[in-house]
Amino acid sequence: MSLDFTAARLNMLDSQVRTNDVPDLVIQDAMAAAPRERFCPPGREFLAYADAQIEYAPGWSLLKPRDIAKLLRALAPRAGESALCIAAPYGAMVLSTIGLDVTLRLPAGPARQAADRALEGYAVKTDAGELRVPPSRGYDLVLVEGAVADLPAEWLEALDKSGRGGARLGVVLRSGPVGKANIFVRSDDGVIGRREVFDATPAWLPGCEPVASFAF
């Protein structure tokens, strides 16, 4: 029996998005249209809309639907803006559906290959490279789909500095069992502000894990 993914998306919105304080219809409509099942390994598509992370390549996972929805709501994306999605292929799909100019950053290899397959037909520019070094600067919005132990300064440097303010970065900072989703916003005078928006426990991005320390 084939799965009804349209119905599964609507159920996801009812049970995981709307009930978690994401009333934004623009985000809801984009998630309702985004085929998350494309990121699932063959035979595992039934997991696409569960309350779970999806490993789309070995060691690389999507955020849970609830977490990506809440992070997007806090970022308040607007059509016509430029967005850099760092290891955020599903986020890139949703932002492209909303109408942003999206660049996806992933290293060459299985993760990028899986993302390219899933994003076929979407107006998303994929860029292979090291996660901590953005391909360029001047983005209105930067989205990271995974947890990092420390925020690379280069990600903040990627935010638009034109003086009009409002460029923002969304990322989960995590050093222990529970992380905090953070929104960083550049003001008109270039000052970076930060606020915590919700708790989350996503997997760490490869290469962004806590550094092990030795105790004597």
Contact between 47 and 54 under an 8 Å Cβ cutoff? The reply is: yes
Q: What is the pLDDT of residue 212?
A: 65
pLDDT at 163: 72
| Residues 171-196: tens digit of each pLDDT | 999 988 999 999 999 988 889 999 99
Identify whether 99 is part of a domain. yes
DSSP letter at 15?
I
In a domain, 163, yes or no: yes
Buried b (16+ CB within 10 A) or exposed e, 164-201: ebbbbbbbbbbeeeebbbbbbbbeeeeeeeeeebbebe
In the chain (216 residues long), the average pLDDT of successive 10-residue segments reads 86 95 96 97 92 94 97 97 97 98 96 96 93 92 96 95 87 94 92 95 92 58
Q: Looking at the domain assignment, is residue 215 inside a domain? A: no
The domain of 88 spans: 5-200
Residue 37 resides in a domain: yes
Q: pTM value?
A: 0.94
CATH of the domain at 74: 3.40.50.150
| Distance separating alpha carbons of residues 198 and 177, to the nearest angstrom | 14
Q: Indicate the number of domains in the chain.
A: 1
Residue given tokens 């919700």 in the structure block: 198
Which own/partner pairs from 18-22 qualify as long-range (CB within 8 Å, at least 24 positions apart)?
20/66, 20/69, 20/70, 21/70, 21/73, 22/69, 22/70, 22/72, 22/73
